[in-house]
Structure 1
Amino acid sequence: MSAQPAPSATPVAHIPWPAAVARRLERHSLTQAAEPPAAPTVPATADVPATPTSPDTPTTPSAALARVASALCGAHAQVLSAAEVSLALRLPGTTRTDVRRALWTDRTLVKTYGPRGTVHLLPTRELPLWTGALTAQRAATARGGGAGTDHLDPARTDEVVAAVGDALADAELTVDELTDAVVERVGAWAGERVMEAFQDKWPRWRSATAIAAQRGALCFGPVRGRRVTYTSPQRWLPGFTPADGDTALAALVRRWLYAYGPASPPHFARWAAAPRGWADRLFRTLAARGEIEPVDLAGEPAWVVAGDTALPAEPPRGLRLLPYFDAYAVGCHPRDRVFPGRAYERALAGGQAGNFPVLLIDGAVAGVWHQRRSGRTVRLAVEPLAPLSAAQRGELDEEARRLGDVLEGTVRLTVGPVRVGAHA
């Protein structure tokens, strides 16, 4: 996407911080309302339509979970059990089994590499959007302008991606099985163990795993015993192709601003793991086209989707328990407002969000928690960073029961210090 002259950044609206928090909570399905918000009303994906064969109907729990994942711009699934909680806690009456059914049976969700090159649960219908946008981002921000990796030049990367797509077209393969299949198709060089990984070395081709996913050649399949498998996302959404890169990137920015705005280009760059300069140019282009507009966020410059300045009538309220790497904690900025006071040191890991499950009160991080399961019993420890009022303690008890329902177990709640360290 080519850069345009910088537009005027004079804010057209003032958005107080409490109002920004209230609308983020609403759009993340974290209010006390019984139903999640509808799909975003901004024209986010009308110009990157999904293949109509998607098994998504408007009335099923699986379809509702896909809508929530869409509104969040994906659920981080490096820890799959946390992603299950993250989605299910936003839909009353939904459990981890419903998420698994949406993913592996109804296939309204797909587990693949999403933003930041990390594993996410994404709505299957949005595979054209995500593959188009992420491929365009990588091409625009790759070192030297290429689309290769530290271990593969662009040409060999293309060979590996083609081999992966061919091998997985109608199969579910473990890493070792896929290694054999790729080596068979492109040669022994793809299997050379050159990648440093967890005190071991991985085969060369694996440096292109995320690229293969972002181009639509690979996604995760069901676990086989304890072993991860890969398969083709065409089995989730037959016939799809990545959307045009510039169109998909613009749609992704609008979706992200709808969920996390008002926000700035550096905030988007951090969420996308992209250079700030690239994000700034992207925002300028969209502003010049009238797709986004500047606002004043509590005295700081920020951006929203054009025309999206309506604010909730009520201030942010409510207590929630968010799991590891929940989208709200990871994607919302500024960090010092989302993690105020002691929370900045206690609930972040070197400034990195998501490494602790967090207690959220009125939209701000106010503590950490940890759960340990034994059979159907879930032992939950919650460490508030300030004393809870009687009303807040009642809300915590209710939220703990809800967590137990999501996990299909019985929670035993303790309020006190959490001694478990940050997740890596």
Structure 2
Amino acid sequence: MPKVTREQILAYRLHGHRLTERAPAADLAGVAGRCYPQNTPPGAAGLALAARVHEVSEERITAELDGKRLLQAFGARGAPHVFPARDAAVFTRGLLPETEEELRAFLRGAVPSLDRIGLAATDLAGLASEAVKEVLDGTALVKDDLGRRAGELITDRLPAGQRDGWKGHSPYSARQFLGESLVRFALPVVSLRGILCHGGRQGRSPLLRRTDQWAGAIEGGMKQAPGELVERFLRCYGPATPAQLAEWGGIGRAQAERLWAAAGSGLAEVGSGGGPRWVLKDELGRLESPEEVKGVRLLPPHDPYLQARDRQVLLPDRDRRKVLWRTIGGPGAVLVDGDIRAVWRPKAGRRTLDVTVEPLGRIGAKHRATIEEEAAGVAAFRGLELGELRGC
């Protein structure tokens, strides 16, 4: 079993994430299908793609979404992600929890309430899917309205003994009844079933639509989707384990093992300081002899590269990890020659964007000009000019 070092793992992942050299503008969809960017806070997916692809702006991302070449839907960890419409089966069916055990793991926050009213997770998923189809037929709604209307529709479809609990107090929000909250928990499952996606906005709020009426029914590749999902995960986060796949996807261990098995015999085991891990066999050579990583990138909060579950590999110092990975209001990361050397925060004005850089280690004066160039690119993505660059 070959042994690999932290430096080899980092270089392999940076190449997989397309962070070693920006791709041509025409490769935008391909890169989105490679790294599967999360779009929280809104705009984060576009910034993640701008760090990987030439000529990316907010206007271009909007045009790609409106043109249905890119699709946004709830996915891994229940969060909205952006991916190519042509790869929809991979990022929906590929991650879909199916059994009661798998659904309870994915909907873990809702489980105590489901048990209290005696409703199975599979029943919630089925009821929510049918209600969403009906409520969104020929229209689009913001999340609050969809949750309420679907929750009200489900009420009359429940046995009498469950209705009072369904219409009762929600421990999740004082402004919602319990059934409304449970529907909101279930919306990512409805997305993974290929029923629900995002399309357009109402003010600052994204609109939710039926996938078949917005982008067309998801067809083809359903049987291969779980194995393809694991392959894409490993190209960006390998070498890895089923447990890391479970954390990355927000799914249970049993589902992760099922998906892992779908990858078949195409995996190779390698050793590292953290124990045995797996990589795609056809990628083993690239892992053992990675390309040298040079250059600077400003990665937004929740960037796909930062979604690796073994954060100690990306940033060994525990105190520095606490600065970068915060529960609320986390900063972005500054990559310098393959290492996370700083965090950054933007502050937008009417015409300019100020950027503050907080070093986590030695950056080096020679990199300041490149950091300024990348910060200017972040400002340009948002249609602004770079104002002040502080801290480096």
With normalisation by structure 2, the TM-score equals 0.83
1:67 equivalent to 2:43? Answer no
1:286 Cα deviation from its structure 2 partner: 5.1
Post-superposition CA distance 1:315-363 (Å, at most 9, x none) = 22222111110000112x53112013242232123xx699321112232
Matched residue, 1:213 = 191
- The separation in 1 between residues aligned to 2:107 and 2:40, in whole angstroms, is 27
Match of 1:26 in 2: 15
1:328-407 matches, cutoff 5 A = 328-331=305-308, 333-341=309-317, 342-349=319-326, 355-407=330-382
Partner of 1:412: 387
Q: CA deviation at 1:16?
A: 3.2
The one-letter code of the counterpart of 1:257 is L
- State the SS of the aligned residue for 2:313: helix
Instruction: Show the counterpart of 1:168.
Output: 136
Q: Distance in 2 between matches of 1:194 and 1:386?
A: 49
Q: For the Cα contact (< 8 Å) 1:340–1:365, is it kept in 2?
A: no
Matches within 5 A, 1:222-237: 222-237=200-215
Q: Which residue of 2 aligns with 1:97?
A: 59
Alignment partners' CA distance in 1, 2:80 and 2:107: 23
Gaps of at least 5 residues in structure 1 are 1-10, 37-60, 418-424
Residue 99 of structure 1 deviates from its aligned partner by: 0.9
Structure 2 CA distance for partners of 1:200 and 1:163, relative to 1, 3 Å:
closer
Shift of 1:146: 10
Larger CA deviation: 85-94 vs 139-148: 139-148
1:86 aligns with 2:48: yes
Q: CA deviation at 1:141?
A: 2.0
Deviations 1:175-227 (A, max 9, x none): 45535653675445598364444553352533322221111221122111244
Match of residue 266, structure 1, among 243, 250, 254? 243
Q: Say yes or no: does 1:121 pair with 2:82.
A: yes
Give, in angstroms, the shift of residue 277 of structure 1.
Answer: 5.6
**What is the CA-CA distance between 1:298 and the residue it aligns to?**
5.7
Bigger mean CA deviation after superposition, 160-169 or 74-83: 160-169
Residue type of the alignment partner of 1:157: A
Higher mean C-alpha displacement, 122-131 vs 353-362:
353-362
User: Match for residue 132 of structure 1?
Assistant: 93
Separation of aligned partners in 1, 2:56 and 2:128: 39
Q: Secondary structure at the match of 1:320?
A: strand
Q: What letter is aligned with 1:170?
A: G
Cα drift, residue 88 of structure 1: 2.0
Aligned partners of 2:243, 2:31: CA distance in 1, in Å? 25
Contact 1:358-1:369 within 8 A present in 2 as well: yes
**Cα separation, partners in 2 of 1:142 and 1:307, compared to 1, 3 Å:** same
Identity over aligned pairs, percent: 26
Q: Is the 8 A contact 1:87 1:99 kept in 2?
A: no
Farther-moved stretch of structure 1 (76-85 vs 13-22): 13-22
Structure 1 residues 147-198: Cα deviation after superposition (integer angstroms, max 9, x where no partner):
9964453335312211211332321123455356536754455983644445
Cα 1:272–1:196 shift into 2, 3 Å: same
| Letter aligned with residue 390 of structure 2 | V
Change (3 A) 1:290 1:403: same
RMSD of the TM alignment (CA)?
3.1
Q: Would the alpha carbon gap of residues 195 and 317 (structure 1) be closer, same or farther in structure 2, given more than 3 Å must change?
A: farther
What's the CA shift for 1:371? 0.4
SS at match of 2:96: helix
Q: What's the secondary structure of 2:217's corresponding residue?
A: coil
Counterparts of 1:118 and 1:213, CA distance in 2: 11
CA distance in 1, matches of 2:150, 2:322: 45
TM-score (norm 1): 0.78
Contact 2:268/2:284, CA 8 A, preserved across alignment: no
Partner of 1:239, secondary structure, is coil
Residues 235 and 362 of structure 1: CA distance in aligned 2, closer, same or farther (over 3 Å): farther
After superposition, the C-alpha distances for 1:27-82 in whole angstroms (9 at most, x for unaligned) are 21211x3426xxxxxxxxxxxxxxxxxxxxxxxx5x6322111111x111121122
The secondary structure found in structure 2 opposite 1:310 is helix
Q: CA deviation at 1:243?
A: 5.3
Residues 1:403 and 1:179: Cα distance change in structure 2 (over 3 Å): closer
SS at match of 1:173: coil
Matching residue's letter, 2:23: E
Deviates more, 1:15-24 or 1:272-281: 272-281
**Alpha-carbon contact 1:136-1:249 (below 8 Å) kept:** no
Maintained 8 Å contact 2:97/2:255: no
Superposed displacement of residue 229, structure 1: 2.0
When residues 300 and 119 of structure 1 are mapped into structure 2, their CA distance, relative to the original with a 3 A threshold, is: same
Q: For structure 2, which runs of at least 5 residues remain unmatched after alignment?
A: 157-162
Q: CA offset at residue 236 of structure 1? A: 4.1
**Greater helix proportion:** 2
Q: Distance in 2 between matches of 1:267 and 1:124?
A: 26
Q: Which moved more, 1:182-191 or 1:389-398?
A: 182-191
